[in-house]
Structure 1
């Protein structure tokens, strides 16, 4: 099942249209807080159907309670940067105020001189996980969505603090749709791709993770309780702007594609003198 949150309420994606559901839940996060999974939405009556291209999609979970992330979690990324594989996950907690809707324009603050994209698989917690075993993780995951875990590389170098480099307003685009975990034929090889202005720059699968999803969330749960609706960003593969020495410019369009999830499109705005920056044409959000 694939679920979206629209300005008209929750919906299921069915045959290229949004089936708006007869439910009082305003978004996916509210469903998980009460139900612990999205299964109840499969049997919800449909109020009406609207073509997908006419629907206004918003951030699927509203504002999550917590957004966790992990640094250097792909073998390809470690190889590109020449770093050894970490023995423990490099974890951080980003501000949930950075979450923004799919299709949004992200305004880069003037203080950030090296803004970067990070296409990622985001997993959404459905049931509470605390001191969980690896075998308990996937049954507790409600779904998967796409994320662009944007990072100001210069701020990261200056402060050494991921939360400060990743928490600017709009720096965590999520969505547009959520695919339920049981829908994946192979949850150990979920593909993630990123395109910048149409050019494919990242292409990998979760099989390339250093700490796979069950291992990552199990380790994290031994230090904190993961609650329904929490987001865990699972790391980014090689091909970021940092790897390419090419950071985001005014007018850039970033498109993150995760298996079975609608593409997550973000457009970049840099509020500076237009004559000093590259303005590239963009296409409408698809």
Structure 2
């Protein structure tokens, strides 16, 4: 099954993909839908409204607009660890984002006037469906509602001001997510999918999700021992090599460039970058 969060009226609505059209639900986004059905997306068929939106008229929002938390893994592909000059870590590198960082899968993204080092990081996003606290790796897969495409757009100059990543990762409306949530059965729990990123027509990143240091199940189990993962929470699982900061010389995004983020079987984001006026 596939789901999306769409603009509707003066607000938004979670919707089910029926190939040629979407059928709306009474929930404002996928996070609230998951909370409403206890993580069981099969129940949504009984909750749909008689409201249909053709695919060509759909206006997409981030799949989850109201997560209680967004947890990100850094340095989670072996080749990316190497290109950034780090040693392989013993434990997952975690940092957080806020809902205000999220933006839609096809929205323009501002290049902040204060940053000259805006970089790309295509990532597999995991949407939590059921609460997870102190779960084993085997139990973790039952907490996955589905997968989305994300790009952890990073302001490297801010990121490198201190030893903590946070300030370079939380600029408002800088993290595109979507376009749809794809349930695990459609992509074999995303164990070995192609993951790629393009700047305009140039392929800048290409790998497979099987090359993660910490797998999806390992990440959920590890995080759940620190904090309870709730329905609608979002986990970003790290990026492979090929980021702009890892090049010699470094390469960063400029006004007018289009970033495409692709994951096999899950979808593609397309975001144009616009220089902020102030």
Query: What's the TM-score, normalizing by structure 1?
Result: 0.89
- What does residue range 196-215 of structure 1 map to in structure 2 within 5 Å? 196-215=199-218
Within the alignment, does 1:112 sit opposite 2:115 as a pair?
Answer: yes
How far 1:194 moved relative to its partner?
0.8
Cα 1:242–1:37 change in 2 (3 A) is farther
Q: Structure 2: 5+ residue runs without aligned partners?
A: none
**Is 1:221 matched with 2:224?**
yes
Say whether the 8 Å CA contact 2:120–2:151 is kept in structure 1.
yes
Residues 1:13 and 2:17 are matched in the alignment: yes
Sort the Cα spacing of 1:89 and 1:2 in 2 relative to 1 into closer, same or farther, 3 A.
same
Checking the alignment, whether the CA contact within 8 Å between 1:69 and 1:93 is kept in structure 2 is: yes
Q: CA deviation at 1:204?
A: 1.2
Match of 2:235 among 207, 226, 232: 232
**How many Å separate the matches in 2 of 1:259 and 1:63?**
26
Deviates more, 1:206-215 or 1:77-86: 77-86
Distance 1:101 1:83 in 2: 32
Q: Structure 1 residue aligned with 2:75, among 65, 72, 75?
A: 72
Pick the aligned partner of 2:135 from 115, 132, 157: 132
Alignment of 1:180-195 (within 5 A): 180-185=183-188, 187-195=190-198
- The match for 1:176 among 179, 185, 193 is 179
CA deviations on 1:43-73 (whole Å, 9 max, x unpaired) are 5557354432221111221232111101100
Q: How does 1:155-174 map to 2 (within 5 A)?
A: 155-174=158-177
1:26 corresponds to? 28
Give the deviation of 1:81 after TM superposition.
3.0
Report how far residue 190 of structure 1 moved. Answer: 2.5
Cα offset, 1:258, TM superposition: 1.6
Q: Is the 8 A contact 1:119 1:192 kept in 2?
A: yes
2:59 equivalent in structure 1: 56
Give 4+ residue runs of structure 1 displaced > 6 Å after superposition: none
Q: Tell me the matched-pair count.
A: 271
Q: Does 1:255 align with 2:260?
A: yes
Q: Could you list the per-position Cα deviations for residues 74-114 of structure 1 after superposition, in whole angstroms to 9, with x for gaps in the alignment? A: 01212333432111011011122111112111112222121
RMSD over equivalenced CA pairs, Å: 1.8
Instruction: Calculate the TM-score normalised by the size of structure 2.
Output: 0.91
Residues 201-257 of structure 1: per-residue CA shift (max 9 Å, x gap): 111111100011111111111111111111000000001111231101111111111
Ranges in structure 1 where 5+ consecutive residues have no aligned partner: 274-286
Secondary structure of 1:224's partner? Answer: coil
Partners of 2:267 and 2:47 in 1: CA distance: 21
8 Å Cα contact 1:102/1:265 also seen in 2: yes
45 and 71 in structure 1: CA distance in 2 versus 1, 3 angstrom threshold: closer
Whole-Å Cα distance in 2 between the matches of residues 89 and 159 of structure 1? 19
Structure 1 residues 200 and 79, CA, compared in 2 at 3 Å: closer, same or farther? same
